[in-house]
Structure 1
Amino acid sequence: MRTWQVERRKRTRHLIELGGLVVKSGIVDLTGDDRAMIYGAMIWVAEKLKSDDGQRARTLWAEKGKEAFATEQKRAYDRSD
């Protein structure tokens, strides 16, 4: 496989994973799959990260994400028993 094909597949996988996070967060259902609203929310998040309060937001959001992943993993483990 050519280098550009490998890179393209890596990029595609990355984009699919990011899209999965958008769905997993519930934002798609909450917005009725309104792409303009979702994009606007993402722009708002980016602006927040660039602001003076950006580091605080990073810390809070990272912790919330880690907790959600841990909860999800625990539920999956509990179902496998």
Structure 2
Amino acid sequence: MAKRRERTRRLIELGGLVAKAGLVELTDDDRAVLFGVMIEAAATLQGEHRDQALTLWRRRGQRAFADSAAEL
């Protein structure tokens, strides 16, 4: 039961990140588009520019988290 709750919480948090990034509104809640974006990101992470992409995306994410925290 605890593992199930932990998994559910993780999935909710991940969905929250999709919403927080504005992807739901930007895609008109089109699940196929959202999935395509994630597949594209996964393909990038399997390519030769993995490390550069991770560094760029991590920096953008950290900056966005910091900006959100500053707004509070």
TM-score (normalised: structure 1): 0.88
Can you give the 5+ residue segments of structure 1 that lack an aligned partner in the other structure? 77-81
- Give CA deviations for 1:39-72 in whole Å, capped at 9, x if unaligned: 0000000000110001100000000000000000
Q: Unpaired segments of 5 or more residues in structure 2? A: none
Q: Which structure's CA Rg is the greater one? A: 1
Q: Stretches of 4+ moved more than 4 A in 1?
A: none
After superposition, the CA RMSD in angstroms is: 0.3
TM-score, normalization by structure 2: 0.99
Q: Tell me the distance in 2 between the aligned counterparts of 1:50 and 1:35.
A: 23
| Identity rate, percent | 49
Distance in 2 of aligned mates of 1:74 and 1:41? 28
- How many residues are treated as equivalent by the alignment? 72
Aligned to 1:48: 44
Equivalent-residue separation in structure 1 for 2:59 and 2:38 (angstroms): 18
Alignment correspondent of 1:70 = 66
